[in-house]
Every structure is written in structure tokens, then in C-alpha cells.
Structure 1
């Protein structure tokens, strides 16, 4: 891997109030599951190879959840990577479950959250999770009760640090009144820009912002302007979109997912791509023109 760009090229970030320092270029394991994040992958050997290559490329932050599959990505991570490298940070998410038809169901009562954390620990083969994100369902949801449950899990030593996902600024403030928050994981990318103000607020507080669907998720970003810029730079659209995120704010950590080693290498190469001011302005203008 010495000839491959390493994840460390994007720089490093320390989660606030912790000893966890990670490369800003990480990896999201969601796409290792089957279609629509349900069932096993078509090629489990390639899935495990992707995880091993991610580590070889310097990725030390992997995002997963036991409801991906369900249970698929955590099982693959343990099969491919255990015993885990000392510097690997595994982050999971709780607050949802999948039924037999593959539907996504939200649930956040204390008993369910505890079972969810325990399921993640059992399948990953860990005694405690580095970071667990509490997944909310919308701006109308009360975050106080599930956050108190998360704090109890932290007090019991099952969760080292707490993050939140799919939250508003008001929900984040309420969560921080109950326990320290080390990261926020919301939907954000070159097109999805509703969290611009929140990102700047978090940067001032030193809290990580981890955008999910950084490349558009199930509907990849398709913008004529992005294609034009990528072709001019001789880069893939995915690399340009990821590089834009990394330059958008120093507290942004990216976790692009893929199920192939070729796409993994392409994504990680974005860690070394520096966009000049004119290109950044041009990319920002694409959103403004929508």
C-alpha cells in the first residue's frame, strides 16, 4: 500500500474531552450489507477485503451499526479485523431496528437502547464501545429521555462517549445538558446544506461533525457543475465532493462507504486533494444556484 494515498493525508481530529484521535478520512460500513442495507453482501470475501484494505490505507475510524443488515456489518468487521488495531475507533448507532421485511423502525426506550448497545458489543467482540450515536427521528422528538438512558450506559462502562444523529440545534443543546457530546452525525453533503450554521457552531465548540450520505447515499449526487469541475481537475466527482467536505470545516470527519476496494481507494485519495479558493467558491455556487 506504500504507493497508495493514505487516510492521514486529510489531517487528524481529536474528539473533545477524550483521548481519541482519528484521521479525518474514515469509512462507513453501511454499504457492506446487501441491497438497501438488508441481508448479506453478494460477495462476503470482497466485503472483508474492503475492511482490511481500509486499515492498510490508514483508516482508523469505522462507522457501523448492528441494524445494518441487520447484524451483517458488525459480523463482517469482527471477522475481518479482530483482534482490532490499537488505534482503531469503532463508532456505532442505536435507536432503530429492522424487521423481517427490511423496514426501518425507530425505537428509543431505555431497555431497547441497552439491548442495542449490548448487541453491538457482542457481535463486535468488545467490552465497551468507543462512541455510540443516539439516532433521533425528527425535530419534534424529545431527546431528554433517551439521552438519560445513554448516560446510564456510559456510567455503567458500556459506552465510553456519546454522539447524536439526525438532530436539530435545539435537540443538541438539550442533549448536552445531560451528557457531553463528542460528535453529531447528520445528513449533509454538497447538495444537502441545511446544517451550515450548525457545523460552524460545532467547530467553535470543538465537536466533530460526521456527515452521513456524504456522496448522496442511495441517490448519488448528480450535478452538471460538479461533473464539469471534476473533469477539469482530472478527478472523480466523488473525490471532489469529499475534498469539499474536508475543506468546508476542520471539524468535519468523512465516512464514505463502498463495497469495493477500487472505490475505497478512490475515496481515500480525496484526503490529499486540495481545492483552491476559486474552486471552493465555484462548488459553493452550485448549491446557491439550485
Structure 2
């Protein structure tokens, strides 16, 4: 891949990062089963050149951020850790948006403590809460930016109109929407972020989708002596130069396999055939 980095704020980010969500209990709830292994996976990721790690207050909740600090603190100077706030977690697989400014303030303060930092590199609003005015939700974020507690701000699962609405209130650096070969409902948001020079961070990048797509990926994978996961990631890297990838895994072998996706050069014809 020619273009393996993206400038996020003042940092050159390797476009293949790591999403830590899986390093939690079942249903993204509670502590990860094998904590020692989870720490090893995080350390291996950084040792193999990952300098963008994505987490959230809601993962665990709270356990995931503490795990990252245990594994990686003191952080390498060029490592960017992104977190999120704005979800209540009543139980496993249960996610309830909460844009109450008091909740947001607590999330920010809690993240600072758990990650053991004075300033959060990238803080993302996990969801816009339809029950709360987004200006109210973001008031504590704007305050935290002024105080130097947050360097950059991002959004998750948003429309173009919502991005513009937030941009009227404060600058944003990134958008994290669901996007993969099988689910491209946010195509227009991706193109908009590219035009704006914002990072686009697809979550769930490895959904393989319908069987006919899997067959197509498999054929291309065999040609490149690659795995289907590597091809799905390589396609995303080629799709747009502002895409940052955060595949997650609990296995160091799978981690290294994912990171090799940057070495795969899909031809335009292969790219087009998968895009159909």
C-alpha cells in the first residue's frame, strides 16, 4: 500500500489501528476473561506499529480503559488513544444513549483517570441522544477542550446534517460510523468526511456479509495468498485515503494477520468487483 498513514491532528497515524472493544466480558460487559492475554494483545499491537487504539467508557463499562492503562501506560509519545462517552450500560449487549451533560462530564473525568492521562487525544461522542439538545450534550466537551482535557473531538453514527450541526459548535476531527464491504449505508458520509479532511473510522470493518460476497473475497484472497479478513481490510484502505481501520481481536496471531493487510495491493479491477 502506498498510502499507509493519515495525519490526525499533529500525529501521523498508521491507518491500521486496533479496536479494543473485544477485550471485555461477554456482551461487551464486565472484565475480559483472560486479562493477561488481553494485555499481551495490546502490547503486541503497539510493538507491531499500531499507534491508534480505540476504546470507550462504555466498554465494560470502564474496564477496557483501565486495561489499556495497565497494558501500555506510560504511553509511547506517538500513540493516540481515542475513547468515547455518552452511553449507559444497564447490562450485557444493552446500550442506551445518554447525552445528559452531567453524564458526559463524568465520562470525560472518568476516562482521564482510567487512562491515566491529563488530556484525552481524541474524545468521541458515542451517540447523539435524540432526547437531549446536542448543544447541551457538547457543552462539557467544549469546556474540556478549552481546559486542555481533550485535544480533539469526534462523532459516531452520525448523518451529514448532524456533522454540520456539530461543526457549528466546535471543530471535529473524525467520524466513526458502521461501514464494511457488506454494509455501505454510510457511503455519502464517508465521501463527505473525505472532502472535509476528516478521518473516517469504520466500526465493524470485518463483517463479511452475504455468501456471494464471501465467495468473491475468497477468490481474490487466494490470488493474493491472503485471508478473507485481510482482503476486506485492504478494500477499505483502498476505498478512501481518510479511512482509519480498527479491527479488534483477542488473538495475537489474528492481530498480526490483520496488520499485514496494508501490504496487499488490490488491483482496480479487484476493487471494483468487490464494490459491486
CA–CA distance in 2 between the matches of 1:155 and 1:31? 32
CA–CA distance in 1 between the matches of 2:193 and 2:238? 15
* Contact 1:139–1:167 (Cα < 8 Å) also in 2: no
Q: Can you list the C-alpha shifts for 1:61-114, whole angstroms capped at 9, x where unaligned?
A: 000012101122111111111111011000001110212555222101111101
Number of residue pairs aligned between Structure 1 and Structure 2 = 273
Q: Provide closer, same or farther for how the CA distance between residues 140 and 233 of structure 1 changes in structure 2, counting only shifts above 3 A.
A: farther
- Residue 139 of structure 1 and its aligned partner are, at CA, apart by 7.8
* Contact 1:138–1:167 (Cα < 8 Å) also in 2: no
CA–CA distance in 1 between the matches of 2:105 and 2:178? 25
CA–CA distance in 1 between the matches of 2:132 and 2:15? 30
The aligned counterpart of 2:116 is: 125
User: Does the alignment pair 1:23 with 2:25?
Assistant: no
CA–CA distance in 2 between the matches of 1:205 and 1:212? 20
User: Does the alignment pair 1:143 with 2:134?
Assistant: yes
Correspondent of 2:102 among 97, 111, 115: 111
TM-score by length of 1: 0.89
The aligned counterpart of 2:195 is: 204
The aligned counterpart of 1:11 is: 4
* Contact 1:148–1:178 (Cα < 8 Å) also in 2: no
* Contact 2:180–2:202 (Cα < 8 Å) also in 1: yes
The aligned counterpart of 1:161 is: 152
Residue 161 of structure 1: SS of its match in structure 2?
Answer: strand
- Residue 138 of structure 1 and its aligned partner are, at CA, apart by 7.3
CA–CA distance in 2 between the matches of 1:256 and 1:100? 24
Correspondent of 1:53 among 44, 49, 55: 44
Q: Provide closer, same or farther for how the CA distance between residues 10 and 238 of structure 1 changes in structure 2, counting only shifts above 3 A.
A: farther
CA–CA distance in 2 between the matches of 1:12 and 1:55? 15
Correspondent of 2:163 among 162, 166, 172: 172
Q: Kindly report structure 1 stretches of 4+ aligned residues shifted beyond 6 Å.
A: 138-141
Q: Provide closer, same or farther for how the CA distance between residues 168 and 141 of structure 1 changes in structure 2, counting only shifts above 3 A.
A: farther
Consecutive unaligned residues of structure 2, counting only runs of 5 or more, are: none
The aligned counterpart of 2:83 is: 92
The aligned counterpart of 1:70 is: 61
* Contact 1:26–1:60 (Cα < 8 Å) also in 2: yes
User: Does the alignment pair 1:187 with 2:178?
Assistant: yes
> After the TM superposition, which of the residue ranges 31-40 and 227-236 deviates more from structure 2?
227-236
Cα RMSD for the two superposed structures: 1.9
Q: Provide closer, same or farther for how the CA distance between residues 10 and 266 of structure 1 changes in structure 2, counting only shifts above 3 A.
A: farther
Q: Provide closer, same or farther for how the CA distance between residues 114 and 9 of structure 1 changes in structure 2, counting only shifts above 3 A.
A: farther
TM-score by length of 2: 0.93
Q: Provide closer, same or farther for how the CA distance between residues 172 and 50 of structure 1 changes in structure 2, counting only shifts above 3 A.
A: same
